[in-house]
Structure 1
Amino acid sequence: MKIPPLNPLKVFEVVARTENLTHAASELCVSQSAVSRQVAVLEEYLGVQLFTRERGGVRLTEVGEVYSRRVTPAFQAISQATSYVTQRYSDSRIRLRTYTTLTARWLIPRLPRFNALYPNIEVIVDNSPAPLDFNAESCDMAILLGDGHWTGSQATLLMEDIIEPVCAPELLDDVHSCERFPEYLLSKRLLISKYRKNDWPIWLHHVGRDAALNGADTMTFSSSILTWQAAMDGLGIAIGQKHMVQADIRHGHLIRPFNREFKTGKGHYVVTPAVQRFSPKISAFRDWLLHEASESGEAEEGEKSPRADLKGATVANRSNMK
């Protein structure tokens, strides 16, 4: 592939378009002599004369005119492609890639606060469980669950992935008459989320109750949201993700019968491309997300449902779980 020096080529395109060395120099922010030198470099490289000087400016030679007609569209294509890329960071939209559970349970309830702070920024949310590839999709950032390592990306921890069983308060109505509380509760139907089917084995292993899965009555749902709704409706006991069920626990729809959280070692991360043009809107949204996560964490430490405390005390007194 034979390509001439790009700087002289760009100078040629401007001179051919303006037909005037002075005008070309002004557009390129260089001196007229510098323009002339760049044209001479290109002519020497090609071995042809591209312009003839006239009193009012310059005129393309026959070969120069043919060359101009073929070169100009390439620069126009480069300009359009560059505008397409840079416009993503200059418009008022943020394209966020995440997944349904976090969107519905954590992000949406908080978005009105972001809208109040930045009314001119529109957040477009795309929910997908597919692997992230910034090169293949048009998103500015993502919130993902994982270990913090995604190829070609930068990741900042938003909040840890913390799990424990949750159930409807009604499921424990006869706890005080039961002498074998842990076994009694774990004998209830175990509700499983399709995409987090390992949460029950992980938590049960953490508390030394692996055998509880043997022959257990289970019911599987296509999402965590449906699983928690089933728990609220009394169908059984589910594994809750701490930051996703916080509101349900606060409002008394769900309780934490064992009071035994477990950190899985994963987390929800704010993920951006490793190479990304600085954008004030993306920086503002990222900082806001981190602030909201910090605020919600502090609120969880300071707020507990009275009923959850009561049941937690009951479990602590009646359970021998290590």
Structure 2
Amino acid sequence: MRDINLKSTEYFEAVARLGSVTRAAEELGVSPSAVSQQIRLLESQFGVRLFRREKRRLVLTLDGDRLFQTTTQAFAAIRNARSAIVRQRDLRNLTIRVSPSFGVRWLGPRIAAFASTSPEWNIRIDATPDFTVFETEAVDLDLRYGLGGWTGLTVNPVMNDLVLPFCSPDYLRTLQAISPDPVEQLAHARLIDSVKMLYRWDLWLAANRINLPGLSYQFRFDRSSMSIELARQGGGLALDSLTLCLPELERGELVPFCPAFPVIDFAAYWLVCPPKHFNRRIVSRFSSWLEEAAQEHEVRARALLTGLGCHFREGLGPELIGPGPDTVP
């Protein structure tokens, strides 16, 4: 590359593309004589003629055309890269990290509504179970699933998790045909284990004073979205978050296993970021929008469950283990 005169090559590409020394000079912001001089230098370096003049027109020679085909692609790529870099530098970006299932099933269907209120911003959703290391990663905020308490960060509650066993209507009828006793139904059910849930089957069974000898799981998933989908298809009984499957319950595709068992109700979704990130107007704007969207969701979810005969047991996640309610069936 040190043997190639890039300036002369740039001038050559402009002349060949525009078909005129004068027009090339105007594009490059130099005089026509400067362009002609650079063309002569390049021809001297290559030892060939790159142009020939026909009736006051410049026409590429065979060697000139070969060089032009390569240089015009290269300079076009450089110009495109430069434009992309400039655009990216000037764009306004909001980067959010979120757990995959929450991102797909809750945030995904709603993010367009937020985007419509902030059309000047580009929004990137990074769906991963890993929390952001804010000191080294260019992420504005996390929407975290957990029990809170992350030190050194602003941790704002978004909404509670509502956890209950559910399945498809057909699968529930299959269980009810075995026995009218919900505990006996559980003993015959295919239990779907969502391994990333804070509140899993072993905690739920202990909290409700249910002992299932030889407890096993025919299905285990590290994504709640997979557990929910299998339950919707009639594959078994899932213990998971209503936050992630409210539409399916509203449509009747999923139903509570037994409303007599209380819905586990605890704070589990949080907006997390360094305090200074709230100095960005877009972060504060998103936080306010998220609070409203989460509140609307919780009102819908609680109303639906109440209408289905469910009641709630509040607590602090896994600390809920203790004596079960007196109304355990």
The TM tier, using the shorter chain, reads: 0.5 to 0.7
Q: State the shift of 1:320 in Å.
A: 6.4
Structure 1 runs not aligned, ≥5 long: 1-86, 314-318
Q: 1:217 to 1:155 in 2, by over 3 A?
A: closer
Determine helix, strand or coil for the equivalent of 1:267.
strand
2 CA distance for matches of 1:156 and 1:100?
20
214-223 vs 200-209, greater mean Cα deviation? 214-223
Q: State the shift of 1:132 in Å.
A: 2.8
1 CA distance for matches of 2:244 and 2:145?
13
How many residues matched? 225
- Assess if the C-alpha contact under 8 Å between 2:131 and 2:142 holds in 1: no
Q: 1:186 to 1:294 in 2, by over 3 A?
A: farther
- Assess if the C-alpha contact under 8 Å between 1:191 and 1:219 holds in 2: yes
Determine helix, strand or coil for the equivalent of 1:238.
strand
- Assess if the C-alpha contact under 8 Å between 2:192 and 2:227 holds in 1: yes
Q: CA RMSD in A?
A: 2.7
Q: 1:189 to 1:176 in 2, by over 3 A?
A: closer
* Amino acid paired to 1:262: I
Determine helix, strand or coil for the equivalent of 2:285.
helix
Give a deviation string over 1:96-125, Cα, whole Å, max 9, x none: 011101101110111121122222222201
Q: Which residue of 2 aligns with 1:287?
A: 288
Give a deviation string over 1:70-94, Cα, whole Å, max 9, x none: xxxxxxxxxxxxxxxxx99x95211
Q: State the shift of 1:177 in Å.
A: 6.7
- Assess if the C-alpha contact under 8 Å between 2:225 and 2:244 holds in 1: no
Q: Which residue of 2 aligns with 1:240?
A: 240
- Assess if the C-alpha contact under 8 Å between 2:164 and 2:241 holds in 1: yes
* Amino acid paired to 1:133: V
Q: Which residue of 1 aligns with 2:201?
A: 200
* Amino acid paired to 1:296: H
214-223 vs 125-134, greater mean Cα deviation? 214-223
2 CA distance for matches of 1:142 and 1:215?
35
Q: Which residue of 1 aligns with 2:328?
A: 321
Q: 1:276 to 1:172 in 2, by over 3 A?
A: closer
Q: 1:296 to 1:227 in 2, by over 3 A?
A: same
2 CA distance for matches of 1:215 and 1:294?
37
* Amino acid paired to 1:166: F
> TM-score normalized by structure 1?
0.63
Q: Which residue of 2 aligns with 1:270?
A: 271
Matches within 5 A, 1:65-144: 91-144=91-144
Q: State the shift of 1:252 in Å.
A: 1.2
Q: 1:269 to 1:239 in 2, by over 3 A?
A: same
Structure 2 runs not aligned, ≥5 long: 1-87, 312-325
Q: Which residue of 1 aligns with 2:170?
A: 170
- Assess if the C-alpha contact under 8 Å between 2:194 and 2:240 holds in 1: no
Q: 1:102 to 1:275 in 2, by over 3 A?
A: same
Amino-acid identity (%): 22
Q: 1:276 to 1:208 in 2, by over 3 A?
A: same
Q: State the shift of 1:277 in Å.
A: 6.0
- Assess if the C-alpha contact under 8 Å between 1:187 and 1:212 holds in 2: no
163-172 vs 295-304, greater mean Cα deviation? 295-304
